[in-house]
Amino acid sequence: MTTDFLSIDFLLKAFDLKDEKRAGWLLRGVTDPESVADHSWGTAMFCWLYAGQEQVDRDRAISMALVHDIAEAEMGDVATRAHPDEQTMSADEKRRREREAFGVVASLLPSPAARDELVSLWNEYEAAETVTARFVRDMNLCDMCAQALLYTSNRRSTSRLDEFFETSRPRLTTVTGKRLYREIEKRYRALR
């Protein structure tokens, strides 16, 4: 991918993720919750560590992890709830808004090659049809569960964080994701 110095507007917009607190943690009363950028970094770190176990392209997985929530720089974070009646918007409406927000953020890249790569990575992640995308989606969920484990172990939450495990468990699709999830959940349950 080639970049140029005119990508500063894109970077500044993407850097909004550093200040965008994760909505699910806020809803559960976590003290000083992580940002969306923190979560993207955590997902990328999971990809870096475990890509070989799923035999996926590590660099592509890390790149996908870094941009998977880029639309939230424009629209903010909308939490997925365990119970459908607690959703703040429908899944279809959330996808529509994310796609629209993604278009705004992607348009800030002046380089067609960079824009094409960003669109390719984001669309692949959203479609979840490739092995790499499914792996990154699982690492995304494992990062969230690991964060719940950390918040519970360091007492930054006065609430039980079971909901994060409940929403993750049925969505895992890879062998590595399921194995990591089981280990993280076991440690979480031992704390309670």
Q: Do 52 and 27 touch, CB atoms closer than 8 A? A: no
Residue indicated by tokens 């940002």 = 35
Please give the span between the terminal C-alpha atoms of the chain, in angstroms, as a whole number: 46
d(CA 126, CA 114): 18
pLDDT of residue 90: 78
pLDDT of residue 13: 96
Helix axis angle, 131-153 to 58-67, nearest 10°: 60
Mean pLDDT, 10 residues at a time, over the chain (192 residues)? 72 96 91 96 98 97 98 89 64 90 96 95 97 98 97 86 94 98 97 82
CATH class for the region spanning 5-191: mainly alpha
Residue indicated by tokens 């550093």 = 18
pLDDT of residue 84: 63
Residue 83, SS3?
coil
